[in-house]
Amino acid sequence: MNTNNPNGAGTRGVAGGEAEAGETASREMAARFVDIRHISAAQLGLLGLGGLAYVKRVATENGTAYAIHAADGSPMALVPAEEVAVAAIIQHEMVPALVH
């Protein structure tokens, strides 16, 4: 034990308040992360919601088109070409994911 430290923080010389703050920060960080092995369907749908968009080829009355969907599956746009879909997603600072 460090006799110079009234909080009894140990031999590394870290004050008790600093150690407690570090432990609190670690707990707060752990609370922000989800164990993906135990993720719910709702949580899965929210993953990447703001940064990921899916491109899926679809058949329409006018032929083939490409649907852009948010990570939760909600439709965002329908465009005539895959390249246009990818460019639109990138232009909106999102990451495209192609669905086959």
Do 14 and 54 belong together in one domain?
no
Do 54 and 92 belong together in one domain?
yes
10 Å CB burial of residue 66 (0-12, 13-18, 19+) is: buried
Do 61 and 92 belong together in one domain?
yes
* Predicted confidence pLDDT, tens digits, the chain (100 residues): 444 545 544 445 555 566 676 677 666 666 667 677 787 877 766 666 678 899 999 999 999 999 999 887 899 999 999 999 999 999 999 999 998 7
CA atoms within 13 A on the CB side of 67: 14
Is 67 among the domain residues? yes
Is 61 among the domain residues? yes
**According to the model, what pLDDT value does residue 29 have?**
60
Do 56 and 91 belong together in one domain?
yes
Do 95 and 54 belong together in one domain?
yes
